[in-house]
Structure 1
Amino acid sequence: VLMIISAIYLIKMPFPDHRAKKETAEKSSAAAVAPQANAGKLDMAIFTLYGYIGMATFYLVSQWLAQYGEFVAGIPHESAIKLLSVYTAGSLTCVFVTAAFVKEVFSSAVAMIVYTFLSMMSLLIVCLFPTPMIVTGFAFIIGFAAAGGVLQIGATIMAMSFPNGKGKATGIFYTAGSLASFTIPLITAKLSKMGIASIMWFDLLIAIVGFVIALYIGYRQLQVRAAAKTSRVAATA
C-alpha cells in the first residue's frame, strides 16, 4: 500500500528536464565536477570497499549476536534472542537521530566518522569484556552505529563525489554490500569452528578498516570544500 501511495505521489512530482540544451548541461556538469576535487579511481575503489565493509560490519553482528550473547557472555537463551530486539531499537533510534541532525548540525562525513568510530570501540569493548551487561549495551550501540543509516550516508557521499555517474556509483556501492552479504557467512562459518568469540574479533578488524576508510573519506570531503571555496572566490574576483 505504501509503495502504491508513493508511486502516485511521485507521478505528480516534477523532474528535471533531461532534454535541456547541451550547453547548459555541460556548464552544470563542469560546475558540479570542479568542487569535487577531481575524485578519481582511488576514490571509487575506497567507496566500493566501504560499501563492503559497512555491510559486513552490521550483517555479521545481526547473524551472530544472539549466539555470542548465549555462548560467550553466558546470557540465557531466551534473553540472548532478545538482544536482536535491542539491536533493532538502536538501529531505529539512529535513523531518527541522523534525520534530525545530519546536515543541520554536522556533515555527512562527520556522521560517518563518528558512527564507524562507535562501531569500532563498541566491538573492542565487547571482545575484551563479554559480560551480559556489556553485550546488552553493545547490541544497542552497534545497532545504532552500524545499522542505523551509516551505509546510506556512505552511498550518498559517493554519489555526490561522482555527480556525472550517480546511478553507476550507487550501483557499485550496493553491489559491494551484496558481496559482503554473500561472503561474510562463508568466512564466519569457518571462524565459528574456532569459537564464536573469534567472529567478533574478526568484526573488530573489519570495523578498524572501516574507520580508517571513513577518515580518508572525511579528508577528501575537506578537500572538496576547499576546492569549492576556492572556486567561489575565483568567481567573485
Structure 2
Amino acid sequence: MNKKYLPSALILYLNYFIHGIGCSILGQAVIKDALAASWGVEAMAITAISAALGLGRLIALPFAGPLSDKLGRRISTAIGSASYAVYLIGLALAFNAGTNGGYTIAYVCAIIGGIANSFLDTGIYPAVGEIIYKTPGVATMGIKFFIAIAQMLLPFALGMAVTTTAAGLTSYNPLFFACGICYIVLLILVFLFPLPDADQKAAGKKEGLIASLKHTHFSLESIAMILIGFTCTGTFQLWLNCAQNFAKENAGWANPSIMQTYYSAGTMLALIVTAFLTRKIKDVRFIVAYPVICLVTMIVVLVSPSQATMTAGAFLIGWAGAGGLLQIATSVCNMLFPKIKGTVTALVMIASSLCNYTILTAASKMQPSQVMLMNIILTGVGVVLGLYVNLRYTKMVEYANEEN
C-alpha cells in the first residue's frame, strides 16, 4: 500500500465508524423510548423507522454501483456522507418537531439514510480494496471492525449525550447532531486526500444487472443462496432492533443498553476467529453452523429470559449472526456461480435490504416476544437453506469447475 493513501483510508474507515452508530442507534431501547415519547407513539413503532433504512437501500442499490464505477469512489462516498448527515441531523429535528410531523420527518430521513448506506458501500468497499490491494479481505474486515467498535462504544456515548428538554422529555439530540457534523467534516476531507480509483474504462463496458437477469438461469441452489441473504439479515436485524425491548418486558431489565456492547464484542471476536477458521474449514459450513447457534440461542432466550441469558444471547448473536455471515454467504456465491457472480451477489444484497425493510416493518406492529418468535422461525428457515446448500455443495463445486 502506498503510504500517501493512509490518511485517505482512515477517512473512509471513519465513515463506517459513524455508520456503526447511525445504523444501530434506533435499535436502542432508551432511544426508542425518547423518540416515542416525543412523537406520541409506541416504542416498537420506532422499528418502522429502522425499516425505512432498508427501503432507502432498495431504492439506491440499482444505480449506486454503476455511478461509483462511472464517476469514481470519491463522488459516491461524498454522496453517502452528505446523505448520512441529512439522516442524523434530520432525526434530531424530527425529535424537536414532536407530534407535529416528527415521525414522518424521521421516516423520510431514514430513507435518505438507507440511500447513504448504499453509496458508502459502493464507494468505500472498492476504494479500501484498491488502497490495500494486496489484502482486500483485510480491507473489508477493517470496515466491519470500525462498525463494531462504534457499536461497542454506543451505550457509553448515550450516557454522555442524554439531556432533558424544557418540556421534561429525555433527549439524545446532542449525539444525533455530533454524528451529523462528523459526516459533514468527512465529506470535506474526502475531497482533500487522494483516492486510487481503478481504471474502469480499461475493463470495458460492464453488463448491467437488468440485462444480466434477462439471460440468467437460476438453479435451486442459487435461489437458496439468495434467500440466505434474506434470512441471515433478518436474524441480526431483528435482534439488533428489538432484543432490548424484549429484555425490558420479559427479563425485567430497566436499562438493557449494555447488550449492545456484548453484541459488538461478539462481532469483533467473530471477525478474528472466523478469519482463522476459514483457513481450515470450508466457508459453506458456516452458512449452516452459525444460524444453528443463533437458533438455539434465541430459543433459550425465549424460554428462559433473564439478564444473564440476554447478555449471553447478545454476545452469541453478535458472533454468529453479525460476525460476517452475510459476507461469507456472498463469498460462497462468488465461488459457486462464477458466470453470474455479479448478478447473484447483487441479488443477495437486494434480498438483504428487502428483509431489512419488510421484516422490521412487520416487527414494528408486534410485541417483543412475538418478534423473538418470528426471528426463531426465520432463522430456522435459514438453517434449512444452509443444510440444503451444504448437501448440494459437492455437486455445486463440480458445476462451478465445469463453468470455468
Tell me which interval the TM-score lies in, with the shorter structure as reference length: 0.7 to 0.9
Identify the range of structure 1 (106-115 vs 206-215) with the bigger mean alpha-carbon deviation: 106-115
**AA in 1 matched with 2:326:** L
Q: Which runs of 5+ in 2 are unaligned?
A: 1-7, 13-73, 75-126, 134-195, 205-216
The alpha carbon displacement at 1:227 in A equals: 6.6
The alignment status of 1:209 with 2:381, answered yes or no, reads yes
Q: For residues 99 and 14 of structure 1, what CA distance do their matches in structure 2 show?
A: 30
The alpha carbon displacement at 1:44 in A equals: 2.2
Match of 1:65 in 2: 243
Query: 2:314 pairs with 139, 152, 158, which one?
Result: 139
The alignment status of 1:92 with 2:264, answered yes or no, reads no
Q: TM-score, normalised by structure 2?
A: 0.47
Match of 1:41 in 2: 219
After superposition, the CA RMSD in angstroms is 2.5
Q: TM-score, normalised by structure 1?
A: 0.78
The alpha carbon displacement at 1:132 in A equals: 1.2
The alpha carbon displacement at 1:184 in A equals: 1.4
The alignment status of 1:158 with 2:336, answered yes or no, reads no
Q: Secondary structure at the match of 1:90?
A: helix
Q: Which runs of 5+ in 1 are unaligned?
A: 20-38, 232-237
**AA in 1 matched with 2:292:** F
Q: For residues 386 and 229 of structure 2, what CA distance do their matches in structure 1 show?
A: 11
Asked if the contact 1:65/1:84 (under 8 Å) is kept, the reply is no
Identify the range of structure 1 (119-128 vs 219-228) with the bigger mean alpha-carbon deviation: 219-228
Structure 1 ranges of 4+ moved more than 6 A: 12-15, 226-229
The alignment status of 1:223 with 2:395, answered yes or no, reads yes
The alpha carbon displacement at 1:222 in A equals: 2.7
Asked if the contact 2:244/2:257 (under 8 Å) is kept, the reply is yes
Q: Which has the higher contact order (CA 8 A, sep 6+)?
A: 1
Q: For residues 199 and 277 of structure 2, what CA distance do their matches in structure 1 show?
A: 28
**AA in 2 matched with 1:95:** L
**AA in 2 matched with 1:83:** M
Deviations 1:121-142 (A, max 9, x none): 1011111111111111001001
Q: Secondary structure at the match of 2:333?
A: helix
Match of 1:82 in 2: 258
**AA in 1 matched with 2:383:** F
Deviations 1:98-153 (A, max 9, x none): 11111x22111112211111011101111111111111100100110000011111
Q: Secondary structure at the match of 1:191?
A: coil
**AA in 2 matched with 1:64:** C
Matches within 5 A, 1:106-185: 106-185=281-360
> Per the alignment, do residues 8 and 213 of structure 1 end up closer, same or farther by CA in structure 2, a change over 3 Å counting?
closer
**AA in 2 matched with 1:186:** T
Aligned residues: 204
Match of 1:24 in 2: none
Asked if the contact 2:335/2:400 (under 8 Å) is kept, the reply is no
Q: Secondary structure at the match of 1:106?
A: coil
